[in-house]
Structure 1
């Protein structure tokens, strides 16, 4: 599995970049939205970035 190989062979920001490149644009948005609301606190900047900059068609 490519994701497992990347996670096993890389770390830090480089790991994040490579794994995020494997997502489709919609999957990436979903992943980032989940990360923005997960845990204590909310990353309002990430929520606004995604929800305000995507087309209605893409948000559906």
Structure 2
């Protein structure tokens, strides 16, 4: 989703409460061992997801 970190808009587009979004983001950090406040970690996750999509398209 391209909401540029806008939690309110992202929660609305997912039809969930903001607290649920924050919970999911914390779980992603725990499971993936990343810090979403780190630009490098966000970039690595973003690139990983893009690569995974490209591989699936093949």
Range class of TM-score, shorter chain: 0.3 to 0.5
Higher relative CO (CA 8 A, sep ≥ 6), structure 1 or 2? 1
> Which structure has the larger Rg?
1
